[in-house]
Amino acid sequence: MITTFSNPALFFKSSIYLIKASSVILIMSRKMLIDGDVGNVSEDNQFDFDLFVIGAGSGGVRASRFSAQYGAKVGICELPFHPISSEVVGGVGGTCVIRGCVPKKILVYGANFGPEIQDAREYGWQVNENVDFDWKKLLHKKTEEIVRLNGAYKRTLSNAGVKLFEGEGRIVGPNEVEVIQLDGTRLSYTAKHILIATGSKAHRPDIPGKELAITSDEALSLDELPKRVVVLGGGYIAVEFASIWRGMGATVNLCFRKALPLRGFDDEMRALVARNLEGRGIILHPQTNLTRLVKTEDGIKVTTNHGEELMADVVLFATGRIPNSKRLNLEAVGVEVDQAGAVKVDEYSRTSVPSIWAIGDVTNRMNLTPVALMEGNMFAKTVFGNEPSMPDHSNIPCAVFCIPPLSVVGLSEEQAIQQVDGDILVFTSTFNPMKNTISGRQEKTLMKLIVSAEDDKVIGASMCGPDAPEIMQGIAIAIKCGATKAQFDSTVGIHPSSAEEFVTMRSVTRRISASGKRKTNL
Helices (H) and strands (E) in the chain, counts: 14, 22
Radius of gyration for the chain, computed over Cα atoms and rounded to the nearest angstrom: 27
Q: Where are the beta strands (DSSP E) in 240-319?
A: 251-255, 283-285, 290-296, 299-304, 309-312, 314-317
Binding-site sequence positions for FAD: 105, 169, 198-200, 361
Rounded-to-integer distance, Cα 378 and Cα 363, Å? 15
Which helix (H) or strand (E) segment holds residue 9: the answer is helix 8-35
Rounded-to-integer distance, Cα 133 and Cα 414, Å? 42
Binding-site sequence positions for NAD(+): 233-240, 320
Catalytic residues: 495
For residue 496, cis peptide bond before it (omega within 30 degrees of 0): yes
Residue 347 CA to its chain's centroid (Å):
19
- The string of DSSP letters for 365-399 reads SS--HHHHHHHHHHHHHHHHSS-------SS--EE
3-class secondary structure per residue, 18-71: HHHHHHHHHHHHHHHHHHCCHHHCCCHHHCCEEEEEECCCHHHHHHHHHHHHCC
- Taking alpha carbons only, the member of 496, 483, 494, 493 closest to residue 449 is 483
